[in-house]
Amino acid sequence: MEEIRLTLEQRRERIAAAREAMADPDSWMWQVPSRGGLGELLGEADALGGASESLRVSVTAEAIERGEASDGAHARTPVDWVRHHAPST
């Protein structure tokens, strides 16, 4: 697989676009075809969720390495830092 070279700004734009695309599923779920379409969509959502989890781990590791997760107003511990910035955890 070829490596995709994106700038940080491009990556953040794509993350925002993915969040927008997944918003309010009740308003567009009717468009998903039966007999395979829902399973395919669930697989895509699962892959996106896995990528999101992997990114969360990488960002947290980087924050710990840089000292950001234990320094500042929201960082008594790395857990505090993560909970502040990723409240769904």
Per-position DSSP letters for 2-32, written without gaps between them? PPP---HHHHHHHHHHHHHHHS-GGGTGGGS
Q: How many Å apart are CA 84 and CA 74, to the nearest integer?
A: 7
Q: What is the pTM of this model?
A: 0.82
Which pLDDT belongs to residue 4? 77
Instruction: Decide if 73 contacts 85 (C-beta within 8 A).
Output: no
Per-residue pLDDT tens digits for 13-70: 999 999 999 999 999 999 999 999 999 999 999 999 999 999 999 999 999 999 888 8
Q: Quickly tell me which residue has 């669930």 as its tokens.
A: 42
Helices (H), 23-77: 37-66
